[in-house]
Amino acid sequence: MAFRTRKTMASTALVATVTGCAALTLAGPASAEPQLVKDNYLEVPDCHTTTEVCAEIPSVSYWFNYPNVIVTFTANQNHCADMIDHIMVDGYEWGFRVVGPGQSDGGQLIPLSPVPGRHTIGVKAEGIKGGCNPGSISLWGGNLHIVDVVP
């Protein structure tokens, strides 16, 4: 009987060790601050312009703890023409990409400074003639997805 007790205890210890190792393998790296992941619907229902550039720049402002973010813009599926999304960070253009209706711009890695700190990210839309666009942008919308890049 004593032999079975030792064998049971050894089996229990082995199972606990294997389970603990598996849990460590599956666990992600610990982080002091939670990663920021935000989805923001942006739109301008009336650009009030006769040009291809919409003067209104909808934006969002967040506190960032990490030095880089990935910003992705996805145009509304109900757009009837392509557009250029100009990604604006703290009032300055970071980059731009052409997106069609329902398309994503693929995302852009953007360094932020200073961090930690509050930063404003927005989209300035520029229309592209074609489809229902006769040569001026009248309205637009889409999703701005922002993710902190944890070092």
Per-residue model confidence as pLDDT tens digits over 66-116: 999 999 999 999 999 999 999 999 999 999 999 999 999 999 999 999 999
CA distances from 134 to 21, 36, 44, 137 (A): 63, 39, 18, 8
Does 127 score more than 90 pLDDT?
yes
Q: What is the pLDDT of residue 21?
A: 46
Helix/strand/coil for 86: strand
Q: What is the pLDDT of residue 16?
A: 47
CATH 2.60.120.260 describes domain 37-149? yes
Q: How many residues does the chain have?
A: 151
Closest CA to 110 of 126, 98, 123: 123
Q: What is the pTM of this model?
A: 0.77
At residue 150 the predicted structure's pLDDT band, cuts being 50, 70 and 90, is confident
Q: What is the pLDDT of residue 34?
A: 59
- Long-range contacts made by residues 133-138, C-beta under 8 angstroms, separation at least 24? 133/52, 133/80, 133/81, 135/52, 136/47, 136/49, 136/50, 136/51, 136/52, 137/47, 137/49, 137/51, 137/52, 137/53, 137/54, 137/83, 138/46, 138/47
For residue range 46-69, list pLDDT tens digits in order: 999 999 999 999 999 999 999 999
- Residues contacting 112, CB < 8 A, separation 6+: 64, 66, 67, 68, 69, 89, 119
